[in-house]
Amino acid sequence: APVPSRPIPSLPSRPVSSQPSPSHPIHPIPPVPSRLSRCSGGSERSPAHLSTKVTFSLFYITLLVFGACGNVLALCITFQRRKKKLNSTDLYLVNLALSDALFTLALPGRIAYYILESDWPFGDWFCRLTAFIFYMNTYVSIYFMTCVSVDRYIAVVRTRHPGRIRKMSRARGICVLIWSLVFLQTAPLLLRPMTRRMGDKLTCMEYFNFEEIPNLPYLLLVACMLGFFLPVGIILVCYVRINLKLCQTAKENPLTVKNGHHHRAFTVILVVLLAVLLCFSPYHLNIVQFMKLQQEPSCTENKIFQKSLHYTVFLMNFNCCLDPFIYFFACKGYKRTVLKILRRQVSVSISSAARSHHEESSGPRLKIQGPLQKLLVLPIQQLK
């Protein structure tokens, strides 16, 4: 999988040492180039100014509220339906919701970090744990969204023996495999410092000492290919094949055009594809473009790349709030519960408005009697 990308990473640089590298994660993290100090005039500064401080703080607070509510609701609905038989798609979505729910546990620390203007108050070990959660969620999410797309493709296109391929035992094995692989890839983050002293501030997940890693640009390019471009290619193929299947079915039998099962599968993959492209592609394209530079980047290129990373990672984090839309279209139980909650809220709002209107209309200034009372007041009272 490619570069860990939930938090704001530092600038990648060309390797400056041919010595063997220390233990490092399979997802290498872009280091701070040694020339960054020279570019900033020899003084290390916190990247968070007042505008970015306010922006990132509000963003992560919003992300915490909506991400936690949407994903915890999905887990609660699944727990309530535990007596009903879950299919393979449900299992992948449960793991996706679990990953996002765990990700929200790391957000309070990031909120405090940005409020304090990039000053980490919780120590190095908690920073390591936060980095581990951030990075693990990124690629667990991509892999499980890919699994959902492949599962929908099998259910719609490979209709001969879909049950044999989509066995729950196989789905459980795939889930265990994904969690295990991503854990092994990101666990080395727990073994090396994730903080760095910059003046009077302690930064977290922002500046890393990876300059001794040989061939770092090539490692990052290979990681981006395996962890992002390959899954996106698989999702895109599934999307196209399901679309072709729906067109073919509509030509052969127009009565099946309104087949809810097929159209729901198409909608699920479309939402997955849009979420992946919107949230993950800007960051990885940015990494690839910078890594392909033939010469050492200039100070201006370094600063532009660093600024662009702030906003592309901004989109990466937003994926936590988009995943509940996948649950909405893929899981009937989740959709039914969300619509029920919305109807209840609308009913409460209408009831409250009707009560206020009734109190105003029954005041001393206005008295509604006779036939007009039957037309206005009684229907409003029935809304209660």
Could you give the CA distance from residue 66 to residue 148 in angstroms, rounded to a whole number? 22
- What SS3 class is residue 202? strand
Among the listed ranges 66-75, 96-105, 196-205, which one has the minimum average pLDDT value?
196-205
Q: Nearest to residue 383, comparing CAs of 354, 344, 341? A: 354
Whole-Å CA distances, 54 to 109, 114, 131, 295, 311 = 15, 8, 22, 36, 14
pLDDT of residue 294: 56
Question: Under a CB-based contact definition with an 8 Å cutoff, are residues 269 and 152 in contact?
Answer: yes
Q: Which CATH architecture has domain 36-330?
A: Up-down Bundle (1.20)
Residues contacting 66, CB < 8 A, separation 6+: 321
- What integer best gives the mean pLDDT of the chain? 75
Question: How much is the pTM?
Answer: 0.74
Confidence tier at 295 by pLDDT (50, 70, 90): low
pLDDT tens, position by position, 15-57: 444 344 444 444 434 443 444 444 544 444 444 467 777 888 8
Any idea which residue has 């999702």 for tokens? 235
Output the pLDDT for position 44: 44
What pLDDT does residue 24 have? 41
Helix axes 88-105, 124-156, angle to 10 degrees: 160
| Cβ burial 241-262 (10 Å sphere, 16+ → b, else e) | ebeebbeebeeeeeeeeeeeeb
pLDDT at 41: 43
% of the chain residues with pLDDT over 70: 68
Are the C-beta atoms of 275 and 14 separated by less than 8 Å? no
Q: Comparing 336 with 36, which gets the higher pLDDT?
A: 336
**What pLDDT was estimated at residue 268?**
84
Tell me: pLDDT of 12 over 70. no
Tell the residue number behind the tokens 């990039």, with chain if given: 118
User: Is the pLDDT at 169 greater than 90, yes or no?
Assistant: no
Tokens of 21: 């590298």
| Residue ranges of the chain assigned to CATH 1.20.1070.10 | 36-330
How many C-beta neighbours within 10 Å does residue 46 have? 17
d(CA 219, CA 185): 14
Residue range 237-280, pLDDT digits in tens? 998 998 888 888 777 776 655 556 667 777 888 888 999 999 99
Q: How confident is the model at residue 163 (pLDDT cuts 50, 70, 90)?
A: low
Confidence category of residue 155, pLDDT binned at 50, 70, 90? confident
C-alpha 272/C-alpha 235 separation (Å) is 8
The rounded radius of gyration (Å) of the Cα atoms in the chain is 26
Measured distance between the N- and C-terminal CA atoms of the chain, rounded to whole angstroms: 55
Q: What is the mean pLDDT of residues 67-75?
A: 89
172-204 as b/e: b if 16+ CB within 10 A: eebbeebbeebeebbebbeebebbbebeebbbb
